[in-house]
Structure 1
Amino acid sequence: MAGIRSYKYLEKIIKEEEEEISLRPKDSNLGKKGCLKRMESLRNILREEILLEEEIKRIMKIFKGSFINDHNELILIPKINLFFRLDDVLCEFDLKVKILSWATRTTVTGSKRDYWRNYTKKKINEFLGTKFDDEDFSLVYNKLGNDCDRLLCGKFIFHKYDLKILEDKENGRS
């Protein structure tokens, strides 16, 4: 799949690290802890890469007709040019940040695009597992749209899309 980084190199590095540890004498602890820590870090990266790939496939399945172009942009709705770049999406969390930051604009703009507005709301709710209504999407877009507050966006995701996080920010509390 174009646009998704290959994790085959990580599998190769992990295998090489395992072989290096197995070649050491059994009584040698020299560098073993460091190798094990590196291997665990690589395994964690590998797990994140696999999860990200699965999530990208899932969102592409939800947004029928979506694709990743040669510029590493995930085109969610080609007809209205709803897209974002995948270059800085390194994990599932980053993907959710992108959805909230860049795809929510369509949920609140333009009466000529009622079909696409409703379609986008439905698909974002499906992907995130939320039940945002028009008012909720308006709040989300006004607080997080155009990537205006990435820290708040992260906090919002971390708190499982609790709208109080955004409302508190709106009322001057944080």
Structure 2
Amino acid sequence: MKKEWQEEFFERQNELISALTQQINDTIPDEWKEFYFHADINDDFSGGVYFFFNTKESTDYIYSEDIPEIYNVNEDEYYERWDKLYKLSKSLKQLFIEYEQVLWQAITIIVDEKRTLKMDYDYTECLGSSSGHNEMIDYFEYKYLGKVPGDKEEEELFKKMEEYQSKFNK
């Protein structure tokens, strides 16, 4: 019986991940090379989503919130697509609850230029940290996109964030 529910869990998880990646693809109004998606979904289902992507023309990463301005996309249309990403992320968290799996606080989905998918579940209690939203995004860029700290203070902050995160992800 255990094998059956595991198969069902992984099948539903794969369906949700596939829907998320398709929705990200639909949200990016350009031919992308790779993207890094991040969802913070707390146990009360509050949170948020964002992603970075680059294009075949440029290795510079574009922040998802900049899409309306850079690509002249209607903001209502953009936020409708963002809302779908958020709802899919909450559905993924709900799936873990339904199948009594260890609850994650965040997920990062990486799809590279070969369309290889990598998922990174994070169990860090972000609300327990002293870092704000912008600092968390800067840390994400540092961790995944190779952002160089702007100064010693930011470098120290990122090191503290790494240490804090390592307490939850053993």
**TM-score normalised by length of structure 2:** 0.32
Report the structure, 1 or 2, having the larger helix content: 1
Which one has more relative contact order, counting CA pairs under 8 Å at least 6 apart? 2
